[in-house]
Chain A
Amino acid sequence: MKKGILINIAKALLLARWRQTLVAATGVTFSIAMFITLLSFMSGLNDLLDGLILNRTPHVKLYNDIKPNVNQPVNNIAAFKDKHNFISSVKSDAARIALYNSGAIMKNLAIDNRVLGFTPRLTAQIFFNNGSTEITGALNGIDPIKEAKLFHFNEYVTSGDAINLNNESNTIILGKGLAEKLTASIGTIVQISTSTGERFQLKVIGIFQSGLKDFDDVQSYTSIKTVQKVLIKPNDYITAIDVKLKDITLAPALAKEYAKVYELDAEDIQTANSQFETGSFIRTLISYAVGITLLVVAGFGIYNILNMMIFEKMDSIAILKATGFSGTDVKSIFIYIAVSIGIFGGLVGLLFGLIISSIIDQIPFVTAALPTIKTYPINYNPNFYIIGIIFSLITTYFAGWFPARKASKIDPVIIIRGK
């Protein structure tokens, strides 16, 4: 009841000055709309750029790194065990880069419920023979079905069908840049040779385009079996297992765990791609900074209008106080005014933000680097809308707080005497 009358008074004062109120609300609307649009667009971009790398990067990659053995024989001799031994010219040992016991590891991963999926890989450094020139490249043996499921491989195969790697033997999918160098297209037979001099002929059944030129210039894909054949290795020979987790944030911890349990090297996505996090963070920061700046400007608008209103309504404030409204009541009235401008302007702003974002979402955005993208990316995350309305409430509350406090301090005696 008591609150009701304060709200009524606030409403009456607002409506009596509806033109000024509208101007103030428009400021809030504009800034919230910009805030929403910016954040949706920026985070759409973030998702897109992250997707470019993160979608096809394993969360944890299990492999054997080539590095010198840390247990040099001298350290095992009792006489030198506790000493600090200087050994120079240590060479990396010729240990297999293959994963030992890969079958057992995969069995364990399959029953690990933190793991979304995994796919074995086998990579070989090869040369593509193009007439008299040799082009270095990498031949990745993959399981096309699992790669498609976990790392969206099929989305980047712009012509041909990745599944055919399984259906037809001695087939290959080339990166776009590589295919151009080799003047190869679907159906072309390309000749490759290994570092040991073995030669093979593979039929091109697809071209892929990842969007990263350096990648597309050297990479090619085939089935694991084909690579094993090329390298003359047994059929349990793989060099890496790419693991995708249910929760990406567990990656560093799990990488450590796997490295210890399986006695191999494990790299997590956060370590491998830390620069992408930074990029996303900066873009998000910019959106927030712009949004908040606009809101502060809108806040000053509200501050001004309330100050004017209080100046014009001195008499009314004096009489309210004389008839028993306390300073707190008067303060509440003006804070209600400010906050309702915030709510109204903010909600309309959210609506405009949504409209502008969906317009941007329709604008064509075609780039060779991103074959799957047709329009500008927009992220319709409801959190942006919640943050937007909370921000507008907080800013308008503070914009209203100072004038409201001034109003609450008005001494009715001075006003009444002044007449």
Chain B
Amino acid sequence: MNQTILEAKHINKYFEDPVRIKVLSDINFSINKGDFVSLTGKSGCGKSTLLYVLSTMDTAYEGEVFIDQALMPKSNESFLAKIRNEKIGFVFQFHYLLNEFNVLENVMLPGQKLAKYSKEEIEHRAYEKLKILDIEKLAFKKANQISGGEKQRVAIARALINDPHIIMGDEPTGNLDKKNSDKVFDIFTKLVSELNQTLLIVTHDESFAERTNRIIKMEDGKIIS
């Protein structure tokens, strides 16, 4: 049951701009299936940087990242893209929907890239995800015709489409008002309790963090608790 989904071993990262500064130093932790983890810390302590490293988008680091117990390479770009497609779902502070497509199509995109199911099936599954997030009535609206809170929920639905091992979020509620961020939080707890979904969420919001299963606190590029 306590299957490790994500593991970081001795992660170090430097920025060279303009002088070499260490932003992450010797990060070690692991996340098990079904964990709802929040990552907090002062602004500039390196939370986003760590999340990008864990998400395989940033490969300029030292140390090892294991996703689903497999070591992530640092160079094979298309392999990493495949990992992100299949195993990781993302939710950012900004929603990043494609305005050329409607809501349903936006949710379908990563599914069509994976191409595990037929198009009709992906469409059906996308619709199901929208239902979980209570926004199925928006399915055929253009992505730029819905509100910010709704967009964020569409982004969550998109993150869910390929049944990822883990969902990572970088301040997904940072741009939302209290009501909407509560809604997003409720959705996250629902995902954990009903689908046994694993979540790693970066947040500034103390009250948000307190309500998660586990809090990882960072300071100056180190994990302090």
Contact = CB atoms under 8 A, between A and B. Distances in A.
B112 A326 contact: no
A322 B113 contact: no
A242 to B, nearest CB: 68
Interface residues of B, number: 34
Given A316-B96, A419-B93, A323 B158 contact: yes
A324 B96 contact: no
Contacts of B85: 323-325
Interface in B60-82: 77-78, 81-82
A327 interface: yes
Given A13-B100, A321-B57, A326-B77, A2 B94 contact: no
A371 interface: no
Interface stretch (A78-86, A144-152, A263-271, A409-417): A409-417
A4 B113 CA distance: 9
Nearest to A2: B115
Contacts of B112: 1-2, 4-5, 8
Interface in B11-57: 48, 52, 55, 57
9 contacts: A4-B112, A12-B98, A316-B96, A322-B57, A322-B92, A324-B84, A326-B82, A328-B78, A329-B113
Interface in A384-419: 411-413, 416-417, 419
Given A1-B119, A315-B96, A326-B82, A413 B113 contact: no
Interface string A298-341: 00000000000000000110111111111111000000000000
Interface of B: 48, 52, 55, 57-58, 77-78, 81-86, 90, 92-94, 96-101, 109-110, 112-115, 118-119, 158, 162, 170
Contact of A12 (B84, B86, B101, B113): B101
A57 to B, nearest CB: 63
B93 A413 contact: no
Given A323-B84, A325-B113, A413 B77 contact: no
Nearest to A327: B77
A15 B98 CA distance: 13
A321 B113 contact: no
A318 B100 contact: no
A77 interface: no
Given A319-B97, A320-B98, A413-B52, 17 more contacts: A1-B115, A1-B119, A2-B112, A4-B112, A5-B113, A15-B100, A316-B100, A319-B96, A322-B57, A322-B92, A323-B158, A326-B81, A329-B113, A412-B57, A413-B57, A416-B92, A419-B94
Contact of B114 (A12, A16, A324, A411): A324
A113 B91 CA distance: 80
Contacts of B109: 5, 9, 320, 323
A5 to B, nearest CB: 4
B57 A2 contact: no
Interface in A4-53: 4-5, 8-9, 12-13, 15-16
A324 B110 contact: yes
A117 to B, nearest CB: 65
Contacts of A320: 98, 109
A411 B97 CA distance: 17
Contact of B100 (A12, A323, A416): A12
A33 B5 CA distance: 60
Most chain A beta-carbon contacts within 10 A, residue among B78, B81, B85, B114: B81
Interface of A: 1-2, 4-5, 8-9, 12-13, 15-16, 315-316, 318-329, 411-413, 416-417, 419
Given A1-B119, A322-B57, A324-B84, A16 B113 contact: no
Contacts of A325: 81, 85, 113
A347 to B, nearest CB: 24
B57 A16 contact: no
Most chain B beta-carbon contacts within 10 A, residue among A323, A328, A419: A323
A315 B155 CA distance: 14
A316 B105 CA distance: 14
A323 B90 contact: yes
B99 A16 contact: yes
A324 B52 CA distance: 14
Most chain A beta-carbon contacts within 10 A, residue among B57, B83, B93: B57
Contacts of A15: 100
A316 B114 contact: no
A107 B88 CA distance: 87
B48 A417 contact: yes
B48 A323 contact: no
A328 B77 CA distance: 9
Contacts of A416: 52, 92, 94, 96, 170
B48 A322 contact: no
A318 B96 contact: yes
A320 B109 CA distance: 8
B100 A321 contact: no
Contacts of B83: 324
A186 to B, nearest CB: 78
A159 to B, nearest CB: 72
A321 B88 CA distance: 12
Closest 3 CB pairs of A and B: A324-B85, A326-B81, A12-B100
A383 B82 CA distance: 44
A419 B170 CA distance: 12
A323 B89 CA distance: 7
